[in-house]
A and B are shown apart, each in its own frame.
Chain A
């Protein structure tokens, strides 16, 4: 049996914390090998050891049956190991071509020669069906294309072993499908792929074998074809996971949030990012806005919550016009917002947990007196949230949020927003990048809000989430609502057609 990667008994310790404990990981030539585990299970650490970013305390690595020592990423690339990181490492004001050849520029007497490189890049992109525009700037292209640039970058340096660190976390369903095809293409060409993920559907679809890690320990390696999703998730989490979301039908009440003819025009291109959108969210209802990323969902939510000015239209909360009100006033009126980008909007990374817990309420009388913060009250409140919503962090309420895991940062935001006892919760991709446990938890919280008679507006790119959690689906395409659907009456495929703009409900005929 030929293994391209053999990592034996790897142990990696941070301080006194064992991130990897005696982990064995073997990849055969020409296979897609999934590495499965929850956040914090040690997947990224293991790959960082392979890529030379960390040195293991114990254990040995063999590449192509030869013992090697990988001290830095350069060693790794000379062993033809390439990695696409979860957060792309691209220079934003470079073109696609420049980004790909970065570090391996072809030069003649110190002068950059891009012609050969261009040819090679275009050849590669044709061969592997990686659609790119070599002259586009990184800042202008979609996340999906940025990922293809990263893949081409690996191929350009002749990598044989390709590591994908959670590649689908940032992609739309269509892009994910395309990525799966690309991975198959690569394997057919004899490359070996390590595919880090915690999404079972994708592993089931793309991978040949799967190694499961849990809390830094090696749990096992299984054949994907003969193992069910339930078995894999049990290996990953250590307990049974309920994939079916329990949801009772409840009566919807009055309209809580009404959006009327909302239009947002782009600042520089005069394009209507959000075009004459109207809808209402009723009490006891989860309304989901589905759509492919970049179709105006973000602007719609920013417009409703007041983060960007809207050009036309009205926003009503419980019948009261709040279009022109400040963000703070809207929050006080009972609008909760779980933002799309938690690092940009949701938390202040350098503040500690308790300070972030009162981000929108610090000025309330329970937390301040004459302008002085009541530290004990803030602390008690943070403790309450930690207990009630099971937020885990290194030093409880004193931990800097930067040092918390993404899932717990999100839990903190959800806790904070729900605890405000809002009338409406606007949640934008609330489970992005989270593992199964945290996702399950957040879905439960949203449904609990609905069951309490609150209105929930959910914006999601994940079809599963759209289908399972929502009571009603609005599909947004190029800034317009093109469909008003009931999840029970349509299939995922049909929904996909609406999202791609090739189908419209009667009500939303193109004008």
Chain B
């Protein structure tokens, strides 16, 4: 009885369906490994599964290092999703944030040393926010689709950053940015000793704070209520007297700030990472979409899915030992996301299973019947009206 109650809980079915997507993705990965080299496939597969656990604390540090930027961009995309916007521009916002963080980290030596890194991070957030606000303003006032504008902003951002690097903080020998001042590198706060490597810093705590803040905004505040209302039904929000233009813009500004912070956190981590002057969009922005999808746009889900994908990436790095290419991981992640799109189908399968489980249980018969209804209504969102008539009958 208790088990079934747990299954009836919406969040839990979401979690289960994500889990099913992950299993499907891993199986495909295994098949690819088997095809390319059957002999080493299983040890390599186990390496992938072990991922960050293989190398003790250093492995875990590596997972955290990979996870920080993609959790932030994931939060950015997921937050925008929740408010009805598709922020595909996380990449541009991320790059802008990274550049401004580095710029402040190198040039603003006048800032007191103790808070230099903090100022750099705030600068990164501000830059991302500005970059996010563009599509937001266009959407709010001229109803221009934010997907198109934010893709454009990605390219504008990338070239702008490349240009600015060459003009200001360029290391022409390596075609990349110069190293930032020591004071701008994130404090380690003993994390390096704990994990026995230099890659970790307080960055992960900042990420966790961001996750909690976003969770609170969305779930607990009137501000989040307004944003979600505009995301679900713009017209009704207008009717309710919510300033929907302001909500759209703020939502993109916050999303941009999150991505920008992600850029700052990665490039100020003191791991020897620099922006290379290349005509390539920052991949972290697009990983963010995967992370948000897998985490079902829920802040906590994004935190977990970001860690999970980073875990796989570390595993992918390690399978090079067996002469496999790390790109296998990208394929696995792609399949997981692909199956994630079927999450609703999985949900239905799960709820059908629940229905069978409870049909002998007379105690709570109605609840079981309701979950498929809810799931169905999401699948055929476009046919809202029809569903309503059907559900009227159901109720």
Contacts and interface: CB of A to CB of B under 8 A. Distances in A.
A307 B240 CA distance: 10
B377 A15 contact: no
A340 B242 CA distance: 19
Contacts of A346: 236, 239
A359 B236 contact: yes
A180 B122 CA distance: 69
B368 interface: yes
A14 B90 CA distance: 43
Given A307-B239, A345-B235, A371-B223, 10 more contacts: A42-B393, A326-B241, A328-B242, A329-B241, A347-B233, A349-B233, A360-B241, A393-B395, A394-B366, A403-B370
B388 interface: yes
10 contacts: A15-B368, A17-B369, A87-B386, A327-B240, A346-B239, A348-B232, A355-B225, A360-B241, A373-B222, A373-B225
Contact of B239 (A337, A363, A368): A337
Contacts of B365: 15-16
Contacts of A366: none
Contacts of A45: 390, 393
Contacts of B241: 326-331, 360
A350 interface: yes
Interface of B: 220-223, 225, 228-229, 232-233, 235-243, 355, 359, 365-370, 372-374, 377, 384-395
B232 A395 contact: no
Interface string A390-409: 00011100001011111000
Contacts of B221: 371-373
B383 to A, nearest CB: 9
Contact of B236 (A14, A344, A394): A344
Interface in A339-364: 339, 343-351, 355, 359-360, 362-363
Interface of A: 14-17, 19, 39-40, 42-45, 48, 85-87, 89, 165, 305, 307, 326-331, 337, 339, 343-351, 355, 359-360, 362-363, 367-368, 371-373, 393-395, 400, 402-406
Contacts of B387: 402
B222 A371 contact: yes
A363 B389 contact: no
Nearest to A46: B393
Contacts of B243: 326
A373 B386 contact: no
A142 B381 CA distance: 24
Contacts of B223: 371
Nearest to B387: A402
B303 to A, nearest CB: 22
Contact of A403 (B222, B225, B232, B377): B377
A395 B370 contact: yes
A343 B239 contact: no
B394 A345 contact: no
Contacts of A307: 238-239
A165 B390 CA distance: 12
A7 B368 CA distance: 29
Contact of A15 (B232, B240, B372): B372
A372 B220 contact: yes
Contacts of A343: 384-385, 388
A337 B241 CA distance: 12
Contacts of B388: 343, 402, 406
A210 B98 CA distance: 72
A44 B235 contact: no
A1 to B, nearest CB: 30
A165 B385 CA distance: 13
A179 to B, nearest CB: 19
A350 B392 contact: no
Contacts of B385: 86-87, 343
B219 to A, nearest CB: 9
A44 B225 contact: no
A349 B373 contact: no
A349 B232 CA distance: 8
B384 A349 contact: yes
Contact of A14 (B228, B240, B394): B394
A363 B223 CA distance: 9
B222 A348 contact: no
A339 B233 CA distance: 14
A161 B210 CA distance: 61
Contacts of A85: 386
A45 B237 CA distance: 33
A345 B237 CA distance: 8
Contact of A359 (B220, B240, B372, B374): B240
A39 B232 contact: no
Among A15, A337, A350, A363: residue with most chain B CB under 10 A? A15
A496 B374 CA distance: 44
A444 to B, nearest CB: 22
Among B366, B369, B389: residue with most chain A CB under 10 A? B389
